[in-house]
Amino acid sequence: MDITEPTVTWLEVSHPQQPIPIGENDRVLDSHFNEQYDVWEVLLVALPGEDDEDEDD
């Protein structure tokens, strides 16, 4: 998935012991554990990579 502008997304992480690949510039904005569903809920902002901004066709 190509990110062309900052994108906020929400994730449910049911197996936090396994790494989740995110981009080098992506950031976790907030997270909390939802005991009712036994998952971590994560708010993530995905930012375009530096090389994506330099592409001119």
Q: Is 26 inside a domain boundary? A: yes
> Which phi and psi angles does 38 have, rounded to 5°?
55, 45
**Residue 39 pLDDT > 90, yes or no?**
yes
How confident is the model over 2-33, as pLDDT tens digits? Answer: 778 999 999 999 988 888 888 888 999 999 99
**Residue 56 pLDDT > 60, yes or no?**
no
Q: Is 11 inside a domain boundary? A: yes
CA distance 50 to 27: 15
- Confidence class for position 1, pLDDT limits 50, 70, 90: low
Q: Is 1 inside a domain boundary? A: no
Q: Is 2 inside a domain boundary? A: no
The count of structural domains within the chain is 1
Task: Give the domain range for residue 24.
Answer: 7-53
